[in-house]
Structure 1
Amino acid sequence: MSIRGRAGAVAERGRRLLESDVPREDLPWYVAPLPEPLENLGLNLAWLVVAVNLAGTAFGFYYYRFQFTRTPVEMWAFVPDSPMATLLVALALAAWKLDRPQEWLTALAFFGNIILGGWTVWVHLAFYEEFGYLWEPMRQFLIWSHAAMVLQAFLLHRIGNFRPQAVGVATLWYGVNATVDYFIPVRGELHHTIIPLRRDAPVFLGADALGVAGAGAVLLLLASVYLAMLTHVEKRRARRSANTLGD
């Protein structure tokens, strides 16, 4: 094959990666902010996305190794927040690829990646100076990799409908998670990810460090509930509109 022919074949493969047979409803940007070609790329490379998230999960469990040692075993499920979120999105995509999609799993993955991805970016910005002890490449990796978690959450509307029952499961889990992280530890101390200053250290707007961290988690939980239910409503509206046009 000539160089021109090889280039054409590569271009064709690239074009196919940006296309998909997976249906995409006509949704407003605020529930589907990713460009359709980028969504298609993520779906076509779903197993790669699964592998990357599993690698992130493994790194995350290693990152939390010291916090595990100071947490009662029965509360370990509430410690590795971000690794659990990346594990959930890996499982949700894997289940979909195996033709066994689970609405509750997709909803959990959506909530987890928005809440924990967004929370990590939030605390790194709110406590930017205090996180200065980190090696700068590691700090940037943590910020941008967690920002990517938020983005990948918006791929999931292509494989799930966010039915109220599934949203209820995710709301319950992450509501309990926020409770034991910031308000009622049940066993031991509060189980939120360790922050680089005392919980009662004054920060800004009259809030202490724990208040700032907890506020971020609660607001992101509320945003996740709203976005999930809004996505469900918009998907139903889009289908009704498509059916009306079809008639």
Structure 2
Amino acid sequence: MAPSDASSPLSRLVSGAGLPDPEPLPRWLAPLPTWLENVGLRFAWVVVAINLLGTLFGFWYYGFHPLPLSDPLITWQFAAEPVVMWPFVPDSPLATLFIALAFASWKLGRTNEYLAALAFFGCWKLGLWTPYVLAAFAEPFLRTTWLPLYVFLFVSHLAMVVEAFVLYRIADFPVRAVAVALAWYGFNDVVDYFVPIVGDPHHTSLPVAGAAVVGGSTALQLAAAGAVVLTFLATFTALATRVKKLELRLAGSGPD
């Protein structure tokens, strides 16, 4: 007798069997279809590997060049930044590292709320900020960036937002974890755009001068506005997820 559809490989792939149960959050907090969340969680180690590869590429993009051997080991933006500020330079690579570690810790049975919050903030913020600046400064970017690389950067960063919306399945975003993530990314905004502490502002290099006027604002102002707004939105979304999850649990534990 042929197996039923319920036991088909595809059905097992998209089912939630053996995975954390999805909670009925509002669509604006959990916009992905449940089956897609399930696939992401079921292939969590693949997601971890992809993000680690993204982290390696990101460090290369910012100027850590073990390859090619003809390049200096430290070049591009890393070479232009004071060493003490290097932790605040590779924003997207750190975000993909955070989410790789968050999913890995969950798979190992040691879910870490701090990693999950840092991953959510990073993938949400950088996943949207990068396409924002790629679009806002499209003409100068396309003059200096190979078109396939431009498209890859645009699409891969949007994919970071998608995976960020899976994290609510494995994390609760307690206030203490959100506070740590806000402190990290808020301080990052400060040194990137407002008070660099050492040297010049440490934001990702743009293909236009910071003082260049674009649409009535400077390039630096446009980049900073996007970063700050997204930090606020990440904070709101993480805390709203926390509140809604608690509301659902309280409602479920009430009297019949």
Q: TM-score range by the shorter chain?
A: over 0.9
Residue 228, structure 1, aligned to residue 238, structure 2: yes
- Is the 8 Å Cα contact of residues 60 and 82 (structure 1) preserved in structure 2? yes
TM-score normalized by the length of structure 1? 0.94
Q: Secondary structure at the match of 1:244?
A: coil
Residues in 2 aligned to 1:226 and 1:86: alpha-carbon distance in whole angstroms: 21
- Is the 8 Å Cα contact of residues 57 and 87 (structure 1) preserved in structure 2? yes
- Which of the residues 9, 22, 26 maps onto 1:13? 9
Give the fraction of aligned pairs with identical amino acids, expressed as a percent.
49
Offset at residue 72 of structure 1 (A):
1.1
Deviates more, 1:72-81 or 1:19-28: 19-28
| Aligned residue in 1 for 2:212 | 201
Residue 238, structure 1, aligned to residue 248, structure 2: yes
Offset at residue 189 of structure 1 (A):
1.2
| Aligned residue in 1 for 2:99 | 89
Instruction: Structure 2 unaligned segments of length 5 or more: list them.
Output: 64-75
Residues in 2 aligned to 1:201 and 1:217: alpha-carbon distance in whole angstroms: 18
Which letter does structure 2 place at the counterpart of 1:173? W
Q: What are the within-5 Å matches in structure 2 for residues 60-79 of structure 1?
A: 60-65=58-63, 66-79=76-89
- Which of the residues 185, 188, 209 maps onto 1:177? 188
Residues in 2 aligned to 1:199 and 1:160: alpha-carbon distance in whole angstroms: 38
- Is the 8 Å Cα contact of residues 25 and 239 (structure 1) preserved in structure 2? no
| Aligned residue in 2 for 1:45 | 43
Q: Say which structure is richer in helix.
A: 1
* CA displacement, residues 7-31 of structure 1 (integer Å, 9 cap, x when unaligned): 989x822211111231211110011
Report how many aligned residue pairs link the two structures.
241
Offset at residue 73 of structure 1 (A):
1.1
Q: What are the within-5 Å matches in structure 2 for residues 61-140 of structure 1?
A: 61-65=59-63, 66-133=76-143, 134-140=145-151
TM-score normalized by the length of structure 2? 0.90
Residues in 2 aligned to 1:61 and 1:17: alpha-carbon distance in whole angstroms: 33
Two-structure CA RMSD over aligned residues (Å): 1.8
Instruction: Structure 1 unaligned segments of length 5 or more: list them.
Output: none
* CA displacement, residues 106-142 of structure 1 (integer Å, 9 cap, x when unaligned): 0000000011111101001111111112111111100
